[in-house]
Structure 1
Amino acid sequence: MYRSSTMMDTTSESKRLGAVKLSRVTFRATNRDGDPLALKTPTAAQSSRGTANVKPAPSEGAPKPTETKKPGPSISLSGLLAAQRITLRLKNQAALRRKARARTPNRKPITIINEQVPPGSANPPQRFPYALAKELIEEFLTSKLRNVTYDPSTSADLTKNLCEDIKKIVRKVTPPRYKLICNMAIGSKNREDILMTSQCLWDSYSDNVTSCSFENSTMFCVAMVYAVYTE
């Protein structure tokens, strides 16, 4: 009994000695540089390795960070007015360029061939202006017959006087060496239709004719003026 207890005490003592040796080895391994603060403060490499993959757990009660929106581009009134002025200036410049191109065409000017005079026809320096003569006759008839009532007893004298006045008016715009012939018809406007035709044998190149008509509530008037060139 005494021996066994001694052995047990020896074993426990050896275990304690072994623990002391392990602690000494551990102490010597960690205390290699002799710095007493090496056990308490870990190195930068150890701290970075230990905290590299560790993320702090979000707390449930902590408020979430609010997202800040970037302000959008603001458009001012002065900017819009400046853009309108620039657009108007560009349009004006484009219009001026188009006008300049139209004034100076790239193509060569085309020579217009004079109208050929038919053989056997007269060649007056100026031809009879039938369109202008028609406008003058229309204005004259409107001013003279606007308020006139049809009367068979005075129609003959009215027709003669109107023809003489028309020849005097047309003569002012007629070139020289033209002979004027005026033909007029006045009738009653009482549910009646009239058709007037004329036929002449003349020079179709130098001679011409113009005609116009007028009517009011009681009468109608048709006037024709022939212009014949004489050499």
Structure 2
Amino acid sequence: MNKSKKTTLRSMLTKTPIREGSTRERTWDTRSDVSDGVMVAPRVQENTYKLNPDDEKKFKPGKVERVMQDVLKEFLSDVEYEKTLGQRMSKMLADTIKTRVKEFKWTRYKIVVQVIIGENLEQDIRAGSRFLWYDETDTYASTTFVNRSLFALAVCFGVYYE
């Protein structure tokens, strides 16, 4: 083939010429590039520019507190405190709480869960967190659990993203 000649390919959808060696690349939906030899056009999604969540899809701290209380009671009611328990158990509890909160299907919310477990020696504890926060959409829920040998503090943050 002579290199001086440019061959022209045509798109199956638009019938517009596509030159070989073109720097413009096409992006196709990877789930359905070719179906029975016919190329499928990419899915185009527009931005919604929603700054606030719908009322029925807002993060509800009361529901989250009940979920966290249920999880903490379920997993910690018969547990005795051990040094090695804290790290593994707090990770597992945080993942369980996060999974159950995601079942509410609040769209556009990032869910962040923090669980602290310690030995109950009749002491006080203070915990603090810092976030960039928008008061109208971002919120949190927290709860505590205490038995005779340990305490647990669970905090779940719902941060809305646009």
TM-score range, shorter chain: 0.5 to 0.7
* Structure 1 gap ranges (5+): 1-120
- Name 1:7's counterpart in structure 2: none
Please say which structure displays the higher CA radius of gyration: 1
Mapping 1:73-222, distance limit 5 Å: 122-125=51-54, 126-222=57-153
Counterpart CA distance in 1 for 2:135 and 2:122 is 37
Counterpart CA distance in 2 for 1:124 and 1:230 is 9
Counterpart CA distance in 1 for 2:140 and 2:105 is 12
Counterpart CA distance in 1 for 2:130 and 2:110 is 17
Deviation at 1:147? 0.2
TM-score (structure 1 length as normaliser): 0.46
* One-letter amino acid matched to 1:124: P
RMSD, aligned CA: 1.4
Counterpart CA distance in 2 for 1:209 and 1:224 is 7
Instruction: Tell me, yes or no, if the aligned pair for 1:209 and 1:227 is still in contact at 8 Å.
Output: yes
Instruction: Tell me, yes or no, if the aligned pair for 1:129 and 1:173 is still in contact at 8 Å.
Output: no
Once the two structures are superposed, residues 164-186 of structure 1 have per-residue CA deviations (whole angstroms, 9 ceiling, x without a partner) of: 00000111114111110011111
Instruction: Tell me, yes or no, if the aligned pair for 1:138 and 1:213 is still in contact at 8 Å.
Output: yes
- Name 2:154's counterpart in structure 1: 223
Query: Which structure has greater strand proportion?
Result: 2
Counterpart CA distance in 1 for 2:98 and 2:111 is 7
Counterpart CA distance in 2 for 1:123 and 1:191 is 43
* One-letter amino acid matched to 1:163: A
* Structure 2 gap ranges (5+): 1-49
Query: Which structure has greater helix proportion?
Result: 1
How many residue pairs were aligned? 111
TM-score (structure 2 length as normaliser): 0.65
Deviation at 1:198? 2.5
- Name 1:27's counterpart in structure 2: none
- Give the secondary-structure state (helix, strand or coil) at the position aligned to 2:95: helix
- Give the secondary-structure state (helix, strand or coil) at the position aligned to 2:98: helix
